[in-house]
Chain A
């Protein structure tokens, strides 16, 4: 299977590509060739870095192309900032809109004695009949590194607790996002990426 990986020049794609290829996917990277999005079978939007960097998606026309691909039913996975981009925006860059596929916005962790960023391995409370997180058992951990997070809503696929409960995964139909880094989360992360690669619309 083929995966189109979006490069918006906000960090390093090596780990994501490596994990997808390890699972047998053919990867195509684009930083603005819209034809590669128009013909995409699956799309991954990785993310490390600042929400503001997603402005490049708007400038290159990728936002519009991705919106159209999602409407066609192409499975989409956003990772970290790539998940946050699915929301209306983030207080990290208040003037930069997200895709607004989910109407809420992302915010910084509230003030607390705990350290921010939230860095390390934390657990997932899988909340609904998630296809993306199928087979993830209690006691499995995934790797996080972030200071902003999405709120828990009806679309939340998993909740994680750090300072406050937040959405560590979101899922509605063919649109999925994970706040953690599945490409860095050992066997559990590979299982989740594998679920994305085999994701199918319900019969």
Chain B
């Protein structure tokens, strides 16, 4: 039976793992290679490394970090942040990533999704969507808006529509981050996740808001997520992937328990 994936996310800035609340107020949370290895050992099903430096000078640092992190990692490894061209993606794959996640650059140039997919396969392309409910809209979920630039700017696209377009262009998965709940540890946005998951035929990874085991149970059930991403819940040893999965199994969620 297919299991629900627990994905450990490392936000990386200048080669260090950091954690912020709603994308600001960053705190140092360790070395990416060490953290990734620890999460994999403790049963994380996948590792996502999101580079939030995204400056030109930071590219080489990122590639070094990816290379170092990938070296002893034998679970799927996705890298995002600052990937603007198929060449950027190729460098990240060459350094050892299995998937890339694209966000702002794909909104600016949706053809990027097609291009990376054609060269590396759809399974290698994750389209990350930073979403915020639109409280002014008649249906805040259906009309949720896509944001770019780390959540600072409206993209002028609706989340559900953009997810569908990404799928049509050949994305293999959608990584949906609710900016309303990111870093708040108050739970995933289950309504929004379900709306996107029902709109596309590809897996949806829910992100933003993990705080308790119950939040994961909800997003896998009501939220119809195929996978869920967690960052702050793990970093400070609040909970390991192992203990999270043991609790999820008790709650009836199908998960891969670490050996």
Closest Cβ of chain B: how far from A34's Cβ, in Å?
A: 26
Would A12 and B123 count as touching, CB distance under 8 A? no
- Give B223-259 interface residues, CB cut-off 8 Å to A: 226-227, 256-257, 259
A10, A120, A161: residue with the most chain B Cβ atoms closer than 10 Å: A120
A28 an interface residue at 8 Å Cβ cutoff? no
- The number of A-B residue pairs with CB atoms under 8 Å apart is 93
A15 touches B96 (CB 8 A): yes
Q: Is B45 an interface residue (CB 8 A)?
A: yes
Closest residue of B by beta carbon distance from A17 = B96
Contact pick for B93, options A12, A139, A190, CB 8 Å: A12
Question: Which of A59-67, A69-77, A178-186, A195-203 faces chain B?
Answer: A178-186
Is A187 part of the contact surface with B, judged by Cβ < 8 Å? yes
> What band does the interface of chain B fall in when counting residues whose beta carbon is under 8 Å from A?
20 to 34
Contact among A19, A48, A118 for B2, CB-based, below 8 A? A118
Which residues of chain A are within 8 angstroms of B124 by Cβ–Cβ distance?
11-12, 48
A119 contacts which chain B residues (CB < 8 A)? 123, 172-173, 202-203, 226
Give the segment of A36-44, A97-105, A140-148 that binds chain B.
A140-148
Would A12 and B172 count as touching, CB distance under 8 A? Answer: no
Q: Known contacts A18-B71, A18-B96, A123-B1: does B259 contact A187 (CB below 8 Å)?
A: yes
Central interface residue in A19, A48, A115, by most chain B CB within 10 Å: A115
Digitize B198-209: 1 where CB-to-A-CB distance is under 8 Å, 0 elsewhere: 000111000000
**A90 interface contact, C-beta 8 A:** no
Q: Which residues of B contact A11 (CB under 8 A)?
A: 119-121, 124
CB neighbors of A among B169-199 (8 A): 172-173
Q: Say yes or no: is B75 at the interface (Cβ < 8 Å to chain A).
A: yes
Query: Chain A residues near B144 (CB, 8 Å)?
Result: none
Q: A12–B66 Cα gap in the complex (Å)?
A: 15
Question: B5's closest neighbor in chain A, by CB?
Answer: A120
B5 and A22 contact, CB distance less than 8 A: no
**Chain B residues whose CB sits within 8 angstroms of the CB of A50 once the complex forms:** 121
Contact A161 B75 (CB under 8 A): no
Residues of B within 8 A of A141 (CB): 3, 256
Query: Are B202's CB and A115's CB within 8 A?
Result: yes
Contact with B along A118-142 (1 / 0, CB 8 A): 1111110000000000000001110
Q: Mark A159-192, 1 if CB is under 8 A from B, else 0.
A: 0011000000000000000000101111111100
Whether, in the assembled complex, A117 has its beta carbon less than 8 Å from a beta carbon of chain B, the answer is yes
Given A121-B2, A188-B259, A15–B98 Cβ distance below 8 Å? yes
B33–chain A nearest beta-carbon distance, Å = 14
* Chain B residue contacts of A187, Cβ below 8 A: 74, 259
In the complex the two chains form, what is the Cα distance from A117 to B122 in whole Å? 9
List residues of chain B with CB within 8 A of the CB of A181.
Answer: 76
Contacting pair B45 A121 (CB below 8 A): yes
Q: Is the Cβ of B172 less than 8 Å from the Cβ of A117?
A: yes
Interface residues, chain A, with chain B CB atoms under 8 Å away:
10-12, 14-15, 18-19, 22, 48-50, 115-123, 139-141, 143, 145-146, 161-162, 181, 183-190
10 smallest A-B Cβ distances: which pairs?
A49-B121, A141-B256, A145-B123, A121-B256, A12-B93, A48-B121, A119-B203, A122-B2, A121-B3, A184-B76
Known: A145-B172, A186-B74, A189-B74. 10 other contacts (CB 8 A): A11-B124, A14-B94, A18-B71, A117-B203, A119-B203, A121-B5, A141-B256, A143-B75, A146-B123, A185-B74
Interface residues, chain B, with chain A CB atoms under 8 Å away: 1-5, 40, 45, 70-72, 74-76, 93-96, 98, 119-124, 172-173, 201-203, 226-227, 256-257, 259
- Residue pairs across A and B with Cβ atoms less than 8 A apart, 16 shown, are A11-B121, A12-B124, A15-B96, A48-B120, A48-B123, A50-B121, A117-B123, A117-B202, A119-B173, A121-B45, A143-B75, A145-B123, A162-B2, A184-B74, A186-B75, A190-B74
